Amino acid sequence: MNEKGDSDGKDVLTSKRIDRTEDLYYTGNNRDENTGWPCEVQGVTRPKLIEAMAQIMRDGGRVCLIGMDLNGLKAINDSYGHDAGDEAIGEFAKEKRRLVLETAGADELYCYKNHAGGDEFQMMAINRVGGDEGFADRVAEILRREVMIKGEKVTLTVSGGVGVSERVFVGGESGEDAGQIFQEMNVEAEALMLDEKREKNKQVFARTTEALREVPLERRKTVLAKILAEDRQFTDEQIVALMDIAYESK
């Protein structure tokens, strides 16, 4: 954002809170097309993140590594087209970036993507007040909120999964272990994201199974076709189970 609040990839200063995403760029070729966020390409982005973590280990503070997986893109793509879906991703990323700084209370924020394209996003949020025990919870809560796209009744959420790995540093450390700690936190955040995604998938599958059994036999195939056309991300095993219900004999 610039001083007017527009997002242009520059450092943003909001109540002494700094968006350092710009520090992760090293060439125009490592920007994600939809979000403008830097992508991990040729191992250049990660060392900069590790150096930021090493500094916090020396200074003291809290660090959150965040992984998030979007949900709702298929509905947007199907209803409005893929260009609208790409635009929605950009709006989502811009809004979440702003909220983590302004509402969650991050003093410094790095936004990036491990891979170009796709619907997974990463952040490293730093809070220099080590005693702020609610920091990670606020970040996670904000990231789970729905985002309206240009006032339309179209929403994107990270209900696919959010993983937040947090570490607290008292300061005075050398930072030599920053790379190892970063890797551990990265793995933990991804695992937590996947765990949440699986748990939500189980809940959706259970509700869908129950609802499908309530449908008269003669209509189940039609209803199941509509369900499978939605972005519910069922596993092959779950789809087979739903088909067994839909094709039950009288």
Task: For 222-247, write each residue's pLDDT tens digit.
Answer: 999 988 887 667 888 999 999 999 99
- Domain contains 138: yes
Over residues 208-212, the mean pLDDT reads 93
Side-chain-side CA neighbours of 128 within 13 Å: the count stands at: 12
CA 127, CA 237: separation in Å to the nearest integer? 43
Whether 138 and 226 share a structural domain:
no
Q: What is the per-residue DSSP string for 120-173?
A: EEEEEEEES-TT-TTHHHHHHHHHHS-EESTTSS-EEEEEEEEEEEEEEE-S--
For the entire predicted model, the pTM comes to 0.75
Total domains present in the chain:
2
Percentage of the chain exceeding pLDDT 90? 26
pLDDT number for residue 92 = 80
**At 177, is the pLDDT very low, low, confident or very high (cuts 50, 70, 90)?**
very high
Whether 110 and 39 share a structural domain:
yes
- Domain contains 214: yes
| pLDDT score of 29 more than 80 | no
Whether 182 and 238 share a structural domain:
no
| pLDDT score of 180 more than 90 | yes
- Domain contains 98: yes
CA 40, CA 115: separation in Å to the nearest integer? 6
| pLDDT score of 70 more than 80 | no
Whether 123 and 235 share a structural domain:
no
Whether 48 and 137 share a structural domain:
yes
Nearest to 38 by CA among 93, 114, 101: 114
CATH of the domain at 76: 3.30.70.270
Whether 125 and 172 share a structural domain:
yes
Whether 24 and 56 share a structural domain:
yes
Whether 143 and 184 share a structural domain:
yes
pLDDT tens for each residue of 94-149: 888 888 888 887 888 998 887 766 678 889 999 887 667 788 888 888 887 776 66
Boundaries of domain holding 231: 204-246
Whether 17 and 123 share a structural domain:
yes
